[in-house]
Structure 1
């Protein structure tokens, strides 16, 4: 059940009416939300419901144990076992075949055979995001940041809540669980602003991302040898806009849907292509993942507390593992390592005497932005390409140029410009428009929303591409 579909529209409309109708009966409402979330997940593959329930059960039991007195024996061991079990489930479904392939390749190079076969398991939808939520809960309980929930219902609803379940944003337990304690107040949420957030997400996904993917990016990356140097270069920039429009669209819709049900999610994107430096980029791009990696990997590794070399090592490890989280492929590892190396350079530059002297100047800022944006786009090539061989073929085409005429559709440049506008539009614009809509009443809101939705459907291409982050 995908967000930009009639099926989900009907599902959400039913959920919205039911949830607010049950709002005075908070416990009943939570059971209904859990049932709706499980039904949403089961629409992909009902068999993986057991995996979802198992993850919630592990989190609940481990949370209760590690929340006890610090004197309780084996408390740290219980935490380690819970985290290891979550990671083992993730590794089995997502990485086992990758590691088997690397072991077989290494054995072949050394001249012997290993009695290993591929598992070929189906990758469960949302397995990575599910793991991140489960780990963050038990670790935060262990650290004393939140008390363990005594309600298995609340924990199951936290890990399975359907707006964030498939592709984020990553919602931390201390941000979500307190919201389950009492009925929600409709007046705390702007209907107009969140309707605009959802419709804006639908436009970014159905029009910008889908057109760029179907009409240009996918064909170029499928067979780079058939396209000119200009088309290859433009495809990389087009993909930069596509992945932003695609992923930010999903989280915009998720945040808006959750808000209309009465729950707040954290912001996940903040105009990332305006970033000045790679560090700034990661404070703007997939912010909930960046914060998760910082709090649960980078800081436990030592952060920046033990000198420049240790900081560089921790940045490289964090980003390389962050790349691996995206998928079991060398391209993702290299993509993560590229960002790790760039963060090391960025970290050193911003602490240098040269930056203190010239870093605030307009020319340096323009150069800083240009280098950051173009590096991010170059790294997207590794993220998008299906293999290292495909990356080599792509770069060879850019280097040599086959002399072919450009076949880039005319719609690509306007769509890139449209995506660029989202990076410079004042952030408060949607909130101001939401206030205007809220003051016009329900009938005006419904009419305005219907007109915008109809326009999006008319503008959208007949073919569509799945959300990019569904694969993670």
Structure 2
């Protein structure tokens, strides 16, 4: 089930909100937990059992990790923590990467005339996200930052909460622990505050991202011998915009839904395309993933406390893992290493800080956007050879123009949406629309909320009703 589907919009979401409003306070987590598992099972099918197994293991182990509980000694608790993290990572590794690794082994064996089996496993929806939630939970408890949840319903609510279960934001346990007790209030005001945010996200996804998707698909499907300068750049720019509006749209919908359920989920985007450095870009793009890696990998590795060489090493490790986390393909590995190299280079040259002067800021912003766009080409391409074909044609101007398939995909309506969407490249980074819609109490904010809920939500709902929506891009991760 997708947020941008008739089943969710017309039936599931209204039913859950109605039950939540009339349910006694002590039942509200139960309502969210049951609804979330039903939501997940509708798309995940039999792999829901894997989610339940992970929930059970982490719930049972966590209390023993508390510093002042169970007289096991710090060393034993540490080994228990390592064991449960290893289990979580192993489950993610087997289901997400076993196929890729056995495929690479089969290719290598083929060079020697041998045959080896290739494992084919269906990737459980959202496994990358709920694995990171489990790790955050047990680590925060081991560190003594929060107590373990003794109420299994509250724990299921945290892990499986349907707004963020399949594509984030990644909610670290200490960010939401105080909101999980059954005494949490829930009012009509929460629905009123969350609905405009949800409407904004649905509009970004259905009206903008889904309109750009066919154009990006046609560009990246162009054979290497037909690829042109115009097709390569159109594909790169269109996908850069599609990915942003698709993923930030999902995040807005998730945050809005969370607010309607009575939860405050963390922000995930803050105008990333206004960044003047790649370092700043990663403080604004998929912020919940960056914060997770900072808290649970980068800082434990030593962060920037061990001198330049160790800092650079840690940055490389973080972005290699970031690439691998996104998917089992060499393109993701190269994309992660590319960003790691950019951050190391900026740190080494002192470019990780904002430049002084308007002209320098504009130049650095353009350079950052070009580098990020080049990275998205690698991220989007099905393989490295296709990525190199697009990148090579972006560097080699020609007069060949667009191919027939790309011209067919680029209708006048989509061209207009592309031009309007491209204004996001020019917007300042200070004001972010989502939080402004949700919390600002000014007259312009009120007008914008009404416009988004009436015009944006209604138009997006019409498009959903006609079946023109597509799955969220981050569902595949």
Q: How high is the TM-score relative to the length of structure 2?
A: 0.89
* 2:219 matches 1:220: yes
CA distance in 2, matches of 1:390, 1:351: 31
Instruction: Give the structure 2 partner of residue 6 of structure 1.
Output: 6
Q: Partner of 1:95: helix, strand, or coil?
A: helix
Which residue of 339, 358, 363 maps to 2:359? Answer: 363
CA distance in 2, matches of 1:30, 1:126: 21
Which residue of 450, 459, 463 maps to 1:455? Answer: 459
Q: In 1, are the aligned partners of 2:216 and 2:238 still within 8 Å (CA)? A: yes
Instruction: Give the structure 1 partner of residue 380 of structure 2.
Output: 384
CA distance in 2, matches of 1:471, 1:289: 16
Instruction: Give the structure 2 partner of residue 92 of structure 1.
Output: 94
Structure 1 residues 232, 412: closer, same or farther in 2, change over 3 A?
A: farther
CA distance in 1, matches of 2:273, 2:450: 33
Q: How big is each residue's C-alpha offset from its partner over 1:156-188, in whole Å with a ceiling of 9 and x where there is no partner? A: 221111110010000111222321214443469
Q: How far apart are residue 31 of structure 1 and its match?
A: 1.7
Further displaced range: 303-312 or 177-186: 177-186
Q: In 1, are the aligned partners of 2:25 and 2:182 still within 8 Å (CA)? A: no
Q: How big is each residue's C-alpha offset from its partner over 1:76-98, in whole Å with a ceiling of 9 and x where there is no partner? A: 11111100111111111100111
Q: How far apart are residue 194 of structure 1 and its match?
A: 2.3
Instruction: Give the structure 1 partner of residue 325 of structure 2.
Output: 325
CA distance in 1, matches of 2:146, 2:439: 35
Q: In 2, are the aligned partners of 1:33 and 1:157 still within 8 Å (CA)? A: yes
Q: How far apart are residue 66 of structure 1 and its match?
A: 1.1
Instruction: Give the structure 1 partner of residue 54 of structure 2.
Output: 55
Q: How far apart are residue 243 of structure 1 and its match?
A: 0.3
Structure 1 residues 73, 344: closer, same or farther in 2, change over 3 A?
A: closer
* 2:47 matches 1:40: no
Instruction: Give the structure 1 partner of residue 134 of structure 2.
Output: 134
The CA RMSD over aligned residues, in Å, is: 2.7
Q: In 2, are the aligned partners of 1:190 and 1:434 still within 8 Å (CA)? A: no
Instruction: Give the structure 1 partner of residue 114 of structure 2.
Output: 113
* 2:437 matches 1:430: yes
Alignment of 1:123-272 (within 5 A): 123-186=123-186, 189=189, 191-214=191-214, 216-225=215-224, 226-272=226-272
Instruction: Give the structure 1 partner of residue 19 of structure 2.
Output: 18
Instruction: Give the structure 2 partner of residue 29 of structure 1.
Output: 28
Structure 1 residues 269, 399: closer, same or farther in 2, change over 3 A?
A: closer
Q: In 1, are the aligned partners of 2:277 and 2:351 still within 8 Å (CA)? A: no
Further displaced range: 180-189 or 256-265: 180-189
Q: How big is each residue's C-alpha offset from its partner over 1:35-73, in whole Å with a ceiling of 9 and x where there is no partner? A: 111100010133122111111112112211111357255
CA distance in 1, matches of 2:388, 2:455: 46
Structure 1 residues 420, 447: closer, same or farther in 2, change over 3 A?
A: closer
Q: Partner of 1:162: helix, strand, or coil?
A: coil
Q: Partner of 1:201: helix, strand, or coil?
A: helix
Q: In 2, are the aligned partners of 1:192 and 1:438 still within 8 Å (CA)? A: no
Q: Partner of 2:43: helix, strand, or coil?
A: coil
Q: How big is each residue's C-alpha offset from its partner over 1:391-438, in whole Å with a ceiling of 9 and x where there is no partner? A: 133234445567533334444553234334456273365247776699
Q: In 1, are the aligned partners of 2:199 and 2:452 still within 8 Å (CA)? A: no
Alignment of 1:411-426 (within 5 A): 411-422=413-424, 424=427, 426=431
Q: In 1, are the aligned partners of 2:326 and 2:332 still within 8 Å (CA)? A: yes
Structure 1 residues 432, 153: closer, same or farther in 2, change over 3 A?
A: closer
CA distance in 2, matches of 1:94, 1:377: 26
Instruction: Give the structure 1 partner of residue 475 of structure 2.
Output: 470
List gaps (5 residues or longer) in structure 2: none
Q: In 2, are the aligned partners of 1:248 and 1:269 still within 8 Å (CA)? A: yes
List gaps (5 residues or longer) in structure 1: none
CA distance in 2, matches of 1:434, 1:224: 52
Alignment of 1:256-295 (within 5 A): 256-295=256-295
Q: How far apart are residue 196 of structure 1 and its match?
A: 1.8
CA distance in 1, matches of 2:235, 2:325: 25
Structure 1 residues 188, 287: closer, same or farther in 2, change over 3 A?
A: farther
Q: In 2, are the aligned partners of 1:192 and 1:435 still within 8 Å (CA)? A: no
Q: How far apart are residue 237 of structure 1 and its match?
A: 1.0
Structure 1 residues 200, 447: closer, same or farther in 2, change over 3 A?
A: closer
CA distance in 2, matches of 1:327, 1:100: 15
Q: In 2, are the aligned partners of 1:227 and 1:404 still within 8 Å (CA)? A: no
Further displaced range: 418-427 or 203-212: 418-427
Q: In 1, are the aligned partners of 2:194 and 2:258 still within 8 Å (CA)? A: no
Q: How big is each residue's C-alpha offset from its partner over 1:282-318, in whole Å with a ceiling of 9 and x where there is no partner? A: 1000000000011111111221111111111110111
CA distance in 2, matches of 1:416, 1:285: 21
Q: How high is the TM-score relative to the length of structure 1?
A: 0.90
Structure 1 residues 396, 38: closer, same or farther in 2, change over 3 A?
A: same
Structure 1 residues 314, 181: closer, same or farther in 2, change over 3 A?
A: same
